[in-house]
Amino acid sequence: MPKTLSRRTVLRGAGVSLALPLLDVMSSSRLLSAAEATARPPLRMAFFYVPNGMHMPDWTPQKAGYKYDLPPTLERIADFQDDINVLSGLTLDGARAHGDGGGDHARSVAAFLTGAHPRKTNGADIQNGISVDQATAKYVGDQSRFASLELGLEASAQAGNCDSGYSCAYASNMSWRGPTNPMAKEIDPGAVFDRLFAGKSVKATKQAKTKRELFRKSVLDFALEDAKRLHQALPAVDRRKLDEYLYAVRDVEKRLGGAERLRFDESGVPDYPRPSGVPRELDKHSDLMMDMVTLAFQTDSTRILSFMFTNAGSNRSYKEIGVSEGHHELSHHGKSEHKQTQIATINRYHLDRFAYLLGRLRNVREGSRTLLENSMIVYGSGISDGDRHNHDDLPILLAGSAAGRIKTGRHLKYDNGTPLCNLYVWMMQQMGADAKQFGDSNGVIKL
């Protein structure tokens, strides 16, 4: 069996490059470089955005500290209470009007990771700030295959008027490489899968994909010989880890293949064309994308990721959970009991999708911890109450213990008005970035 194995080892085949999860023989390797050793296991950061705020009475715990009672919405993640912290009192000043009038939805997304106040325009002269994920990627992005990944469930737009004179670039992008450079998100799980398991060259990757589709082969079929050789040489614990990982890859690939088939009615005629590789059912789409997040982190393909459930001000209905009215319209509830109930139902649905990811991450072991424990994941919105359009006391969760740096299982109440960017400074520092200030921060949050 191998006494040493580099963290960068991959299984290769024709047009396929299959990165490996963290194995014990990697952790014990004496041949690792200093950079690899300090990144063992690597720390990940991620940001998940939901639109239109929350029904806050069903979100905010009454008690601070440990063993707080879960309000109705957070009951959906009761199984993960010990893995998260609820953060209250954080504020996004850049999302406020500051004399610019309407446009809170667009500003709430544009400012969520930048802390900046975006210029009000629906033309080409957009102006925002660099986002925390991209600022951190400048320091540590070269340590993984992809400096960052930008994902979501609804496509980005780079032009148009989306919210009271604000460009659609603000409303549909939360990751910004620079003040005028929004990072479009990928919404097709198949496309993400292809990126994660691409070969050495574009030509080889395309050829392998064509063969897989023609002969219905898996990416694993192309790297099978390499996988068998490695499997035979590994100790028992690592063989089990490798088996679990390869099973997960094949399972995701099968589900992607199933999603790509057309549905047929009784006459054998397709009842709808499948759009751009994206599953029609939102829960299936979301779960596949969460699988991509898990694989991206598990294989150390990236350590930095952002994810938008939908774009700002989304008026999508959720008929799959009995909500036929539009999300945005419901968020302007005017204290209607019916509308607030519907909003809470949508909030719980989004949290269910997030809980699926938490479960996937917690099931992956990395050394003495789990993949979830080796992460720090922000979940929330840049609006608190959708009816008030307020940007203080935001609904924010922080999942994962950042490899033991955070004590989890608490409700932390900060003074209302504490900049959300104070949290981002702390996160950047944990990732190894030399950051003392970011956005509108006025200090570093205490966790």
Whether residues 306 and 337 share a domain: the answer is yes
Alpha helices in 275-412, H assignment, sequence order: 282-298, 327-331, 337-362
**Which 3 state secondary structure label does DSSP give 215?**
helix
- Inter-residue contact 58 to 347 (CB < 8 Å): yes
Average pLDDT score over residue span 196-222: 55
- Inter-residue contact 289 to 307 (CB < 8 Å): yes
Whether residues 224 and 360 share a domain: the answer is no
Query: Structural domain tally of the chain?
Result: 2
Rounded CA separation 270/250 (Å): 27
Whether residues 287 and 249 share a domain: the answer is no
pTM of the model: 0.84
Whether residues 228 and 370 share a domain: the answer is no
Whether residues 250 and 363 share a domain: the answer is no
Is the bond preceding 41 in cis, omega lying within 30 degrees of 0? yes
Whether residues 217 and 271 share a domain: the answer is yes
Q: Two tokens at 3?
A: 């006494």
Query: What's the CATH number where 52 sits?
Result: 3.40.720
- Inter-residue contact 445 to 422 (CB < 8 Å): yes
What's at 286, amino acid-wise? S
CB atoms within 10 A of CB 164: 17
- Final residue belonging to a domain, choices 242, 277, 312: 277
Average pLDDT score over residue span 268-279: 47
Whether residues 238 and 284 share a domain: the answer is no
Whether residues 349 and 417 share a domain: the answer is yes
Q: Which of 90-99, 213-222, 363-372, 398-407 has the lowest mean pLDDT?
A: 213-222
CB atoms within 10 A of CB 14: 13
Whether residues 232 and 312 share a domain: the answer is no
Average pLDDT score over residue span 108-120: 98
Whether residues 349 and 250 share a domain: the answer is no
Rounded CA separation 59/251 (Å): 34
Whether residues 359 and 222 share a domain: the answer is no
Rounded CA separation 110/297 (Å): 25
Q: Which of 156-160, 271-275, 305-309 has the lowest mean pLDDT?
A: 271-275
Parent domain of 2: 1-40+202-277
